[in-house]
Amino acid sequence: MQAQSDWEREQQRRNWRERPVALPEYPREERLVPFFVSSASNFRFFIDAPSVSTGTDGVVRYALVVRSATGAESITYEGIRCETGAYRIYATGIDGGWKPATGGWRRIEPRSVQRWHNALYLEYFCPLGEPIRSAREGVNALRAGDHPSRSLTGP
């Protein structure tokens, strides 16, 4: 397969369309996979394994559970567009169900604290700026604590 020219890549970027999104089943405790974000945070982070998906649009989607030290939770269904380093919240969890969100895409800003989007983007779902090829690849990276392709290029 021949590499794309700069012009072809630019046309692909301009013509990008997000595929329709269906909300997954609500997260359940026994399906949560913890992942490390930062030792500077008192929060614990989890991804609902069956919610992880990769789309033909280059977006990795997942249900995120953030839990405070006191047990308070925030649950969202989100997507990361690996090509642009942006994320979007599709829905928030309320009373065991989903409430659709209306926000658009937001750039993932470099952070040292509150960096869960950075961790998901850089370390698990978009290694080397490319989306994972399958949900299983993403869940395995979460369980391993990092995506294996990152070790090929260094930290």
Q: For residue 57, is pLDDT > 70?
A: yes
pLDDT digits (tens, 9 = 90+) for 119-142: 999 999 998 889 999 999 999 999
Tokens read off for 49: 């394994």
Query: Mean pLDDT score of the chain, rounded to an integer?
Result: 87
pLDDT digits (tens, 9 = 90+) for 70-121: 999 999 999 999 999 999 999 999 999 999 999 899 999 987 667 899 999 9
Tokens read off for 36: 């490390």
Which ranges of 25-113 does DSSP label H, i.e. alpha helix?
none
Tokens read off for 88: 């979007």
